[in-house]
Structure 1
Amino acid sequence: MEAGWSIRKAGVEDLDGLVRLRFALLRTTRGVEKLQGEEALEEATRRYFAQEIPAGRFHAWVGVAEGRLVACSGLAPFSRPPMPDTLASLEAYILNMYTEPQWRGRGIARALFLELVRFSRELGVGRLLLHATPDGRPLYESVGFAPNPTYLEWPLPRK
């Protein structure tokens, strides 16, 4: 334990805390107190974590302080054909990085992030991807992440 906090891998027993922290992240990044369709989103998020964590398709680590979860991180590995710059077909997306405001600046996010990197190497991941908030960008750039202007995003409309 460092400076009153520790990190550990999360399991389904952490479902409530993972959902709470994810929703804090989503509300903060969108600048809202309540998310559109929040009740349905919460149910879908709980179902996702409950299915994907035990199946090994989503990995989460949490920061713990004063007996409760104060930070979270997530890693979603996926496979695609090898690329010229990486022959490893396994890549991973980092998401769900969030630390409660009163616990920021203590190194928790960096410790969680470095654990994601360590685990990714253990899995044989060839590339890590993420979307960064302005607050998170300095951390990611400090370890070598660089912007990638080559891709576009299109959320498929719901039918």
Structure 2
Amino acid sequence: MQATWSIRKAGVEDLEELIRLRLELLHSARGVERFENEETLVEATRRYLARALPAGRFHAWVAVAGERLVASSGVMPFERPPLPGNMAGLEMHILNMYTEPGWRGRGIARALFSELMRFAREQGAGRVWLHATDEGRPLYESVGFKPNPTALEWTPLPE
């Protein structure tokens, strides 16, 4: 396996590989080989990324080894009314951090995460947040992220 890799910002031309890496992340995180409605999920993700990437509602960075994408990351900026500690009201939600198993342990996730944080600082984000897997938690904690036990989440029930 090639040992060198580089990081770059992803674009719409990377859409299919971003979908592939996102599916690998979801399969891994949820412990499944395939989702019941996977084709629908892939098509919905394709539509979302095709709109959100060029509009700046979703930004992605990837790690490239040769011609292959081996890792991905993403960030979604959004605004809310200013709060103490975030007068700008701009927040960044980090998601889709994933490195293929054979490429882990080489600093790729840390390099991708550094790009996301650089982008967040350049944009003036007052808050950056994410949901961490057990595997990813040490990276985020090593740069100062802390758990927030005050959030609640609602998921609509099937009809």
TM bucket (normalised to shorter chain) is over 0.9
C-alpha displacement of 1:85: 2.0
Report the counterpart of residue 152 of structure 2 in structure 1: 152
Report the counterpart of residue 17 of structure 1 in structure 2: 17
Report the counterpart of residue 137 of structure 1 in structure 2: 137
Report the counterpart of residue 87 of structure 1 in structure 2: 87
C-alpha displacement of 1:84: 1.3
Separation in structure 2 between the aligned mates of residue 80 and residue 17 of structure 1, nearest angstrom: 31
C-alpha displacement of 1:66: 2.5
Paired residues, number? 157
Letter in 2 for 1:14: D
C-alpha displacement of 1:158: 5.1
| 1:12-91 map, 5 Å | 12-91=12-91
Separation in structure 2 between the aligned mates of residue 15 and residue 157 of structure 1, nearest angstrom: 30
C-alpha displacement of 1:92: 0.9
C-alpha displacement of 1:155: 1.4
C-alpha displacement of 1:83: 1.1
Q: TM-score, normalised by structure 2?
A: 0.96
Secondary structure of 2:28's match? Answer: helix
8 Å Cα contact 2:85-2:126 kept in structure 1: no
Instruction: Supply the RMSD in Å over aligned alpha carbons.
Output: 0.9
Separation in structure 1 between the aligned mates of residue 65 and residue 113 of structure 2, nearest angstrom: 17
Report the counterpart of residue 106 of structure 1 in structure 2: 106
Deviation readout 1:107-147 (Å, 9 max, x if unpaired)? 00000000000001111111001000000000000000000
Report the counterpart of residue 125 of structure 1 in structure 2: 125
Secondary structure of 2:81's match? Answer: coil
Secondary structure of 1:102's match? Answer: helix
8 Å Cα contact 2:7-2:64 kept in structure 1: yes
Secondary structure of 2:138's match? Answer: helix
Gaps of 5+ in 2: none
C-alpha displacement of 1:60: 0.1
Letter in 1 for 2:44: A
Q: TM-score, normalised by structure 1?
A: 0.96
Residue identity over aligned pairs, in percent, reads: 68
Letter in 1 for 2:110: R
C-alpha displacement of 1:12: 0.3
